[in-house]
Amino acid sequence: MTDLTNRAEQTRTKWKEVLDNFHEERSEPTSDLYWSEKDTWSRSRIREVQDTKLKALTPFLYENSAFYRRRFDKLGLAPTDIKTVDELISKWPVVTKQEMMDDAIAHPPYGTYTTCGEDEWNDRGWMLFSSSGSTGVPRVFRYTHYDRKYWEQANARALYSGGLRKGDSALPMVGFGPHVFAWGVQYTLAAMGLPVIPGGGIDSKARASFIERFKPTVLVCTPSYAMYLARVMQEMGDDPAKTSVRWLVTGGEPFSGVEGTLERMQDLWGANIIEFYGCTEASPHCGGYSCPEYQTGDENFIHLMEDIQIWETVDDNTMLPVREGERGLTVCTNLNSESSAQLRFLVGDYTRLSTEPCGCGRNHIKGMGCITGRSDDLINLRGIKFFPVQIEEAVRSVAGTGDEFQINLQTLPSGLDVMKVQVEHLDAQVADVIANEIRSRCEVRCEVEVLAPNTLPKTEMKAKRVFDERKKG
Ligand SMILES: [Zn+2]
């Protein structure tokens, strides 16, 4: 065995020993309120655990990922230079998606930013997932069965926090493509001992009929699909709010921080809607999740599970940390995987972090206002910057607008870039009202076209709202 292989194996063994020390293989919750007591750890205990994990993680990454080794060498750092969260944040610049894409192009098809190589994949490989970003080269991530066990326990803590209990049964309504959200929930339901009614590969009417006949209490889907299915059921003469459904577990799109959208879905379903937030890069598990208190304050929030991930926010220009309470982009260090334990990966969603204690008893940090848009989705129109969710809030603020809307960006023959927002409403006069709402929220003028209800294509999975046909450059 060469020295290099030896060091790679030694550091992997050490990293997994540390992970194992903190792992619980639960099939039952620890109490009525918490799946694991880790949820109630003090903030100093959480930090102590983060530092302990980090100390074993950096040598592991250095010896097992060419991407990380190059980065350490380029920065003139040894792995032992980063043993604590403070050292990590002060010494290690954020890792961007572009860096990963460049690496994936140079080293196809997997890149070198993960630590699941051929040996691990052949020995205990579980699943391959792909980044779902709307821009750039897709990046793939191979995870092992070792990761799966950690994934199940973290997600069980999140689902239990959301309110799922024995007696619940779930109907997942997803395509089961290479995206982490639904698979993570699927395996976790099994680990929690909750029954599942498979709902993939059938159309919406069949799913509506499944709900009527088999009476699941939990639906697993994207927010867009939950809204779509509710409308399908209404057209069939059913009232979604009168079904057996008590919980909607949603992921894949931001929504609970989008003013108007959550309320609309709660009205439709008469159910508790809980959210999973995370990314393919720093799985296996959701990072953000709902608790029973998430709607009780001035603004909605999600918790971020900090003993398994370090969450921070950075300035969108300088990429330097912002103070607690200031709006910034999310950055995640994953302390819970043998396959993709990233250091300061720029997830890139806007939120404001708060360490204020939560009424639910969890001390894990909160993302206030939830997640309100990924920096990749930012629209820059004639130098004015805003997010599609801000347009969504303006549309939702007007009573009677349809669920669907589109944002069309075009370049006029004169060279001027313009935006037209298409909405559905019975009254064409609402165009001015919505245009004013958009102007007051985004400081941008635009045309609003009012179409008859049910004109725009219905979203079945992830909503595509923005159609950018501007001439570039
Ligand atoms: Zn809470």
Least confident of 150-159, 354-363, 384-393: 384-393
Instruction: Report the pLDDT value the prediction gives residue 443, as an integer from 0 to 100.
Output: 85
Q: What is the Å distance from ligand 1's center to 159 Cα?
A: 13
Instruction: Report the pLDDT value the prediction gives residue 454, as an integer from 0 to 100.
Output: 87
Instruction: Report the pLDDT value the prediction gives residue 63, as an integer from 0 to 100.
Output: 98
Q: What is the Å distance from ligand 1's center to 361 Cα?
A: 6
Q: What is the Å distance from ligand 1's center to 462 Cα?
A: 27
Q: What is the Å distance from ligand 1's center to 358 Cα?
A: 5
Q: Give the Å distances, CA to CA, from 305 to 57, 83, 177.
A: 18, 20, 25
- Look up tokens 């001992």; give the residue: 193
Interstrand relation of 447-451 and 417-424 (parallel, antiparallel or unpaired): parallel
Q: What is the Å distance from ligand 1's center to 446 Cα?
A: 39
Q: What is the Å distance from ligand 1's center to 36 Cα?
A: 14
Q: What is the Å distance from ligand 1's center to 406 Cα?
A: 34
- pLDDT tops 60 at residue 135: no
Q: What is the Å distance from ligand 1's center to 375 Cα?
A: 26
Q: What is the Å distance from ligand 1's center to 121 Cα?
A: 37
Instruction: Report the pLDDT value the prediction gives residue 136, as an integer from 0 to 100.
Output: 61
Mean pLDDT of 15-40: 97
Instruction: Report the pLDDT value the prediction gives residue 285, as an integer from 0 to 100.
Output: 76
Q: What is the Å distance from ligand 1's center to 389 Cα?
A: 24
Q: What is the Å distance from ligand 1's center to 161 Cα?
A: 8
Mean pLDDT of 289-318: 94
Token pair listed for 219: 């639906």
Token pair listed for 371: 């997640």
Q: Tell me: the pLDDT tens digits for 399-452?
A: 999 888 999 999 998 888 999 999 999 999 999 999 999 998 888 899 999 999
Q: What is the Å distance from ligand 1's center to 448 Cα?
A: 39
Q: What is the Å distance from ligand 1's center to 386 Cα?
A: 29
How far apart are the C-alpha atoms of 218 and 470, rounded to whole Å?
A: 42
Q: Tell me: the pLDDT tens digits for 35-48?
A: 999 999 999 999 99
> Which comes out higher in pLDDT, residue 384 or 35?
35
Q: What is the Å distance from ligand 1's center to 293 Cα?
A: 5
How far apart are the C-alpha atoms of 236 and 166, rounded to whole Å?
A: 31
Q: What is the Å distance from ligand 1's center to 251 Cα?
A: 18
Using an 8 Å Cβ cutoff, are 154 and 104 in contact? no
Q: Tell me: the pLDDT tens digits for 111-127?
A: 999 999 999 999 999 99
Instruction: Report the pLDDT value the prediction gives residue 291, as an integer from 0 to 100.
Output: 97
Using an 8 Å Cβ cutoff, are 263 and 257 in contact? no
Q: Give the Å distances, CA to CA, from 389 to 183, 448, 459.
A: 26, 16, 16
Element (H, E) at 328: strand 327-334
Instruction: Report the pLDDT value the prediction gives residue 460, as an integer from 0 to 100.
Output: 66
- pLDDT tops 80 at residue 297: yes
Q: What is the Å distance from ligand 1's center to 471 Cα?
A: 46
**All domains of the chain in start order, with CATH:** 1-375 (3.40.50.12780), 379-469 (3.30.300.30)
Q: What is the Å distance from ligand 1's center to 295 Cα?
A: 10
Q: What is the Å distance from ligand 1's center to 431 Cα?
A: 39
Residues in the chain, overall count: 473
Q: Tell me: the pLDDT tens digits for 173-209?
A: 988 888 888 899 999 999 999 999 999 889 999 999 9
In this prediction, residue 471 has a pLDDT band, given cuts at 50, 70 and 90, of confident
User: Which is nearest to 235 in space by CA: 264, 206, 213, 205?
Assistant: 205
User: Which is nearest to 425 in space by CA: 408, 407, 403, 402?
Assistant: 402
Q: Alpha helices of 223-323 — where are they, by DSSP H?
A: 223-235, 261-269
